[in-house]
Amino acid sequence: MSGKGAIPASRTEEATEMLPPPVGELRGRLLVGRYYIIERMAVGGMAEVYLATHGQLAGFQTPVVVKRILPNLAHSREFIEMFLDEARIAALLQHPNIANIMEVGRERDEYFLAMELVQGESLSQVLRTLHAKQHQLPPALAAFIASQILAGLHHAHTICDTQGQPLHVVHRDISPQNILISYEGAVKVIDFGIARAMGRVTHTRVGSAKGKFSYMSPEQARREAVDHRSDIFSLGVVLWEMITGCRLFRRDNELDTVDAILGEAAPPLSKFIPVPPLLEAIVDRSLAKNVDERFASAQEMETLLQRYVSEEGVAGPPELRRFMHQYFLEEQNAWRQRVRRALSQTTPVPEMTPITASSLTPLTMPESPAAIAQARPRSYGMPLLAGVTVFVSLLAVILAWKALNPPPPIYAPPPSAMVVPVVTPTPSPVPPPVLEATLPRPAPTAPAPTVEAKLRDPTKMDPHRKPGKLATPAKTTTKPRVLKPNPFGF
């Protein structure tokens, strides 16, 4: 595919992206004692990107990306203040479709960002590879990638601070260079907030915007106030270019590019490739020049794109993963080897300041024991410690004695629980004898039959017993009871 609107093979805009990894100034250095720099991967207009490892113990290291602010910007106090302000906001963003920032650090006069490593390719590299092979990205797959980007944008646009106040985060630099696609099919947006800080610095504004004019919204090109709908317009440009394989607003120079953004309408997708009406309507609405005619939120556009993708039924993470394996298998193997080599290198432990004889303060001793005693300050530490030790010991003994000898209860038990002591009564004086005539004589009663008499009862005697032996009870259906003498006497 060729022509004015095709993606140029010379890559004039992306000339600073993904340079060969030369030996950088930070290679082999240990930043803030945690990030060991392995190699430089890319250099841009604002920062240079390094592959690094986080951690000091072999086997417990994590590959990360370290972005160091270029020295010419690090000396700008205005830029550094706004950069740190925007970086704090960007660090709050935690979403699967946003490359998370782990730390914003400083090493002497160098400011850097530590970010998660996404093993994959930028969307700009994907489009260049397809152009070189004269292939195009399937529309359904392009719509799926755009829906993932919109999910991350919606999270950023609606994030609030700890007080529940919206932060109104706007990316301001949605472009193929800031969209990463991993080899496993994940889509990540990078550089949240950094481009905004870059654009607010007057003397760096021209250099920072170079190469990104073709993705600006009309209000951003006019230097007006922008909101989240500016990111929706920029994503509409990216989606249009993914489907058609051509550049939408880029012209020979920046002035003509801005004029095209402000005055030219985007050609319909049907002029380049047959697409369903739903997809074409989504792209046209996102590219509306009037802000009020665009989607009200990134989530609204994401919902429509997901509906289109579900109707097609041929796009999703598995399809995107197969696509990346098909076109970038060698790059994926090279990335794995690079990360494996990085993890195999042991992060050096920060060097300790050596102790020398000159760094020690000489110790001067008095000449005599009396002088030593006089020079030594009086200390009450040892007597006080001994007194405290004795007091604690006595307290422990008292507590142990009380635990072993509990005091009697201070309450009276209820009458039902009282134990009546056994008291031997005092013998009373013997009463005088009473005459037998004066007392009524009780009627004679028969003595109670004893057990032996009961056993000798003829009615209960066994007729077959032998003489001289006790009768046994008549046989019953139950086993007879055998009486045994009581050895206890009762």
Query: What amino acid positions are annotated as catalytic residues?
Result: 173
Rg of the chain over CA atoms, in angstroms? 49
Residue 67 contacts residue 113 (beta carbons within 8 Å): yes
How far, in Å, CA of 471 to CA of 451, rounded?
A: 11
How far, in Å, CA of 180 to CA of 17, rounded?
A: 13
Find, among 335, 414, 349, 343, the residue nearest to 41 by Cα: 335
How far, in Å, CA of 115 to CA of 96, rounded?
A: 14
Which whole-number Å values give the CA distances from 49 to 14, 26, 45, 286, in the listed order? 15, 10, 11, 32
Which whole-number Å values give the CA distances from 76 to 72, 73, 125, in the listed order? 7, 5, 32
Phi, psi of 242 (to 5 degrees): -65, -40
Residue 315 contacts residue 187 (beta carbons within 8 Å): no
Residue 107 β-bridge partners: 110
Residue 176 contacts residue 163 (beta carbons within 8 Å): no
How far, in Å, CA of 120 to CA of 126, rounded?
A: 10
Report which DSSP code applies to 485: -
Q: What angle do CA 35, 36, 41 make, to 5 degrees?
A: 100
Residue 127 contacts residue 241 (beta carbons within 8 Å): yes
Which whole-number Å values give the CA distances from 407 to 396, 403, 404, 410, in the listed order? 18, 9, 10, 8
How far, in Å, CA of 286 to CA of 147, rounded?
A: 13
How far, in Å, CA of 377 to CA of 132, rounded?
A: 85
Report which DSSP code applies to 98: B
Q: Indicate the residue type of 397.
A: V
